[in-house]
Structure 1
Amino acid sequence: MEKNFNFKKIGKWIMAGSALIAVVVLIVFSSNTFSTDRCKKIEIKIKNANEQFFIDKEEIEKLATKQGRDQLTGRLFEKIDLREIEKRVLKNKQIKTCQVFRGIEGNLNIDIEQHIPVARILMSDGRDDVYVDSEGYFFPLSERYSARIVLLSGEYFRNLPSLKQKRQEKLLNFINLINNDNFLRAQFTQLDINPAGNITIVPLLGKHTVEFGAPENIQNRLSRLKIFYRQILPVQGWDTFTHVSVKYDGQVVCK
């Protein structure tokens, strides 16, 4: 019994020693992983860089460093204000989100996500044109890149800061449906929207315009429009009609 007790005791000592060694190794590993208290380099990742080209890594670094006036590489991390750098980068309104953090290799990581536009709004109130994203945010155009997307026009947008309000939800859903449908996105070049929210569609081909009306019963009306473009126009001719309406349920009215 005495022998068994000693073996158990020794076994406990070995386990305790192993645990202690593991802790020491972990501390050493962590120390080596965070091998420097200074910023080695700036590492920038743009989440959706292959979808839009509004901004590049060089411009992000310029924003982060105040055009090179605030040197970050080589600085102690305790002297770097990560939140301040995020604010600097977000001054570019094409950027949707920005996260700045210290990487395990001693890098300063800057991860950003761009806004992805679903339409361009042609402002009629003296303001510069803007893009709108799928969530209804307005953001400015870019000098570097012009997105090929549907145009929005009309008095509806006068003095409007965004499409984020509840009353604009159906219109935003309509715009998103057009943007996500390859056929309709290629067919429609412009949506003109009056102050009441009624939509007139200007297509790429043909001499007609499409009276869509308010963004109600959207899927049904778009289905009738697809029938019109795929079955009626190829037979009747693309320049036969000047006015098409799907405003009324169950009908495609052509003039």
Structure 2
Amino acid sequence: MEKKVNFKKIGRWVMAGSALIGVVVLIIFSSNTFSTDRCKKIEVKIKNANEQFFIDAKEIESLATRQGSDQLTGRLFDKIDLREIEKRILKNKQIKSCQVFRGIEGNLNIDVEQHIPVARILMSDGREDVYTDNEGYFFPLSERYSARIILLSGEYFRNLPSLKQKGQEKLLNFINLINEDHFLKAQFTQLDINKAGNITIVPLLGKHIIEFGEAENIQNRLNRLKIFYKQILPVKGWDAFSHISVKYDGQVVCK
């Protein structure tokens, strides 16, 4: 008995095989193209560029090319060390992160993110002033831009490498809460912190200083300060007191 040939089935197998061969050829071609194509140009993108102005695209490109001595445009991509370029760029400590990769269009893409400062630390131990971001990382000031943010001072910061280390969580949280609150951020200009961690706040308006104490029961104390500023000072006058304390729970002591 003769077997019938299923031409439809054979046709489907032939089409599937042809498609598979096409995919393999495309992968090989794409791989070969990727390894032999040359860099057309350098494309720099800076995240949060509208928030801070520590760096610009020209400076990033200068770091990537070693001030122009390492020509990247026109070079074969398989001769470009992407990780090495990232390391060069990250030498600028105002940069939080960097990714270097080849774009589909043949550009060398450099994506960077700046640190966003929440406070400036006035060092008293001979070190240069630094910024700290909301994660507690210290990074240097910039010659091209000065951020208008709260100042931190006092013996507490002597020899302190960062606010990322254990035991600094409460103080960092306090700084971040101020920075996130439009009213407090505008009113508080400086925090002076002694060796024991007691905080004195210097406000923008008024001739008083604020004794805050350690970074404990933070939200409750800040709420009491807001009530003081919104309900008491408008009545008594901004220069009526020289010393305000919220160090003790449930109290606002005025002198």
Q: In which range does the TM-score fall when normalised by the shorter chain?
A: over 0.9
Partner residue, 1:8: 9
Within 1, Cα distance between the matches of 2:8 and 2:137? Answer: 70
Partner residue, 2:121: 121
Within 1, Cα distance between the matches of 2:186 and 2:241? Answer: 20
SS where residue 192 of structure 1 aligns?
Answer: strand
Partner residue, 1:195: 195
Please tell me whether the aligned partners of residues 153 and 190 of structure 2 are also in contact (alpha carbons under 8 angstroms). yes
Fraction of identical pairs, as percent? 80
The residue type equivalent to 2:102 in the other structure is: R
Partner residue, 1:39: 39
1:9, distance to aligned residue in structure 2 (A): 2.4
SS where residue 166 of structure 1 aligns?
Answer: coil
Within 2, Cα distance between the matches of 1:169 and 1:111? Answer: 30
* Structure 2 unaligned spans of 5+: none
Q: Please, which moves more after superposition, 1-10 or 102-111?
A: 1-10
Within 2, Cα distance between the matches of 1:110 and 1:133? Answer: 22
CA distance 1:242–1:41, shift in 2 (3 Å): same
Within 1, Cα distance between the matches of 2:38 and 2:7? Answer: 50
CA distance 1:234–1:43, shift in 2 (3 Å): same
Partner residue, 1:223: 223
Please tell me whether the aligned partners of residues 35 and 105 of structure 1 are also in contact (alpha carbons under 8 angstroms). no
Within 1, Cα distance between the matches of 2:182 and 2:211? Answer: 21
Alpha carbon RMSD of aligned pairs, Å? 1.9
1:98, distance to aligned residue in structure 2 (A): 1.1
Q: How does 1:97-108 map to 2 (within 5 A)?
A: 97-108=97-108
Q: Deviations over 1:170-218 (max 9, x none)?
A: 0011001101111100010000000001100000000000000000000
1:117, distance to aligned residue in structure 2 (A): 0.4
1:131, distance to aligned residue in structure 2 (A): 0.2
Q: Deviations over 1:208-229 (max 9, x none)?
A: 0000000000000000000000
Partner residue, 1:250: 250
- TM-score when normalising by structure 2: 0.93
Please tell me whether the aligned partners of residues 34 and 105 of structure 1 are also in contact (alpha carbons under 8 angstroms). no
1:22, distance to aligned residue in structure 2 (A): 4.8
SS where residue 16 of structure 1 aligns?
Answer: helix
1:18, distance to aligned residue in structure 2 (A): 3.7
Partner residue, 2:18: 17
Partner residue, 2:179: 179
Within 2, Cα distance between the matches of 1:225 and 1:108? Answer: 52
Please tell me whether the aligned partners of residues 201 and 209 of structure 2 are also in contact (alpha carbons under 8 angstroms). yes
The residue type equivalent to 2:189 in the other structure is: T
Partner residue, 2:48: 48
Within 1, Cα distance between the matches of 2:88 and 2:95? Answer: 11
- TM-score when normalising by structure 1: 0.93
Please tell me whether the aligned partners of residues 34 and 77 of structure 2 are also in contact (alpha carbons under 8 angstroms). no
Q: How does 1:111-190 map to 2 (within 5 A)?
A: 111-190=111-190
Q: Deviations over 1:214-255 (max 9, x none)?
A: 000000000000000011000110000000000000010011
Partner residue, 1:93: 93
Within 1, Cα distance between the matches of 2:3 and 2:19? Answer: 24
Q: Deviations over 1:92-122 (max 9, x none)?
A: 1100111111222221111111111000001
* Structure 1 unaligned spans of 5+: none
Q: Please, which moves more after superposition, 99-108 or 1-10?
A: 1-10
Within 2, Cα distance between the matches of 1:198 and 1:125? Answer: 19
The residue type equivalent to 2:144 in the other structure is: R
The residue type equivalent to 1:145 in the other structure is: Y
